[in-house]
Amino acid sequence: MQTEELLKTFTDLVTIDSPSFEEAGVAAYCEEALRNLGFTVCFDNSGKQTGSNTGNLLASLPGNAHGVVVLAAHMDSVAPCCGIESVINDGVITSAGDTVLGSDDKAGIAAILQGVKENLFMDRPRPSIVVVLTTAEEKNCQGAKYLDEALLRDVIKSCVAQSADPDCLDGGPVPCVVFDSDGAPGTIVTGAPYHYSFVARVAGKEAHAGVNPEQGVSALEIAAKALASLEWGRLSEFSTANIGMIHGGQAINVVANDCTVEGECRSVYEDRVKAQQIAITEAFETQAKALGGSVQVDWEIDYPGVFYQTDDPFLQLLKDAADAKGFPVTYLVSGGGSDANVFSTKGLKPVTVGVGMTNFHSVDEYITVEDLENAARYVKAILLTMAAQ
């Protein structure tokens, strides 16, 4: 492993400011790096929908052996992520302390770039490779949501048609590895939840709180009783629900005639998340009817769930690649979503894997040099394992 080269790529990437919707600098860096490796690079027009200053990056390189695989990561970071200064002490990479490090997900990008590069320079067998780097993942996966599926399909087909295995597409979803999870390389995410968000708009009737409160209908009371009638937090091992924001009322001496409640529910099981949706909606409607108000509950799916059995052939391939490098394999069901959830609707079969990011989304974020190296080694191993099938 060319550690110095890998570290330079990673530290270069984290010093490029890339808050969500401002990923153009990272996109330009990656475009140049991928073109230098022989990839054909293009961008979709998703920026028009997301508001990002660049589209999603799609790059392709025909293979000299069996198969095709999509390698994916995202280009944005959570705040505070501008002016990042990386520090390496005793094999641990951190920020200087007043920003995040950005290993979420620039460790994933660096691993892809270095792993592919070393595979190419060693002239090893490889499947056809398509790299997808998205924008605005940290904003409910908006880049992935607006990824141009027709363009993605064309890029994959064109790449495979020029490869040594032009008949490898069987009409099913294309294998995709998303390098965007905590856990050491060898961590394989077998499931991530369906995520639904809601806005409940409660209407009551205003009245003077001291003179004639009986003539009023408190929207806040309706909301409070609805919320109190439900369970929140962890509902079961793989299901949760949460209230994030409540707004309402005009003054302390006025019975509140309006209240807005925003929240979410998640589960890796679709029937359970839909049951929770029904329960939340019915709770608000029941209390509104009982107290003389009204309510409108609107739901939106932020992303669908993904769930695999560990004996799935693609997961077995990922395990074999980890075994080949001596990485302990850990299966993980995540409570959070990622681009993988959305990719499952774009003709891909996405599995998220660990790259070693730790304490991400905080100024205490770090990654070890060893995990960064192993993430790049894992990329190489996946390519070799797939090519050998």
pLDDT digits (tens, 9 = 90+) for 178-220: 999 999 999 999 999 999 999 999 999 999 999 999 999 999 9
Q: Token pair of 314, please?
A: 């693609």
- The answer to whether domain 194-303 has CATH 3.30.70.360 is yes
Asked if residue 389 has pLDDT above 90, the reply is no
Asked if residue 345 has pLDDT above 90, the reply is yes
Share of the chain above pLDDT 70, in %: 100
Distance separating alpha carbons of residues 202 and 290, to the nearest angstrom: 13
pLDDT band with cut points at 50, 70 and 90 for residue 368:
very high
Distance separating alpha carbons of residues 222 and 242, to the nearest angstrom: 18
The reported pLDDT for the residue numbered 384 is 96
Mean predicted confidence (pLDDT) in 264-288: 97
Q: Which helix (H) or strand (E) holds 224?
A: helix 219-228
CA distances from 193 to 10, 16, 86, 104, 222 (A): 30, 31, 33, 19, 29
Residue ranges covered by each domain of the chain: 3-192+305-387, 194-303
Asked if residue 3 has pLDDT above 80, the reply is yes
- What is the bridge-based pairing of β-strands 348-357 and 174-182? parallel
pTM for this structure? 0.90
The reported pLDDT for the residue numbered 11 is 96
Q: Which of 22, 23, 44, 76 is catalytic?
A: 76
Mean predicted confidence (pLDDT) in 66-75: 97
Smallest Cα–Cα separation from 45: which of 135, 156, 159?
135
Asked if residue 337 has pLDDT above 90, the reply is no
Nearest 5°: the CA angle 276, 282, 283 is 90
Asked if residue 107 has pLDDT above 90, the reply is yes
The reported pLDDT for the residue numbered 55 is 98
Do 249 and 258 meet the contact criterion of CB atoms below 8 Å apart?
A: yes
- Identity of residue 339: D
Mean predicted confidence (pLDDT) in 271-278: 96
Q: Strand pairing partners for 178? A: 72, 352
Distance separating alpha carbons of residues 365 and 100, to the nearest angstrom: 6
The reported pLDDT for the residue numbered 1 is 62
CATH fold of 3-192+305-387, please?
A: Aminopeptidase (3.40.630)
pLDDT band with cut points at 50, 70 and 90 for residue 370:
very high
pLDDT digits (tens, 9 = 90+) for 286-332: 999 999 999 999 999 999 999 999 999 999 999 999 999 999 999 99
Topology match between the domains 3-192+305-387 and 194-303? no
Distance separating alpha carbons of residues 125 and 226, to the nearest angstrom: 60
Helix (DSSP H) and strand (DSSP E) numbers for the chain: 11, 17
**76 is annotated as an active-site residue:** yes
Smallest Cα–Cα separation from 157: which of 31, 258, 28, 70?
70
Distance separating alpha carbons of residues 366 and 240, to the nearest angstrom: 28
The reported pLDDT for the residue numbered 97 is 84
Q: Which of 44, 137, 221, 373 is catalytic?
A: 137
pLDDT digits (tens, 9 = 90+) for 115-164: 999 999 988 899 999 999 999 999 989 999 999 999 999 999 999 999 99
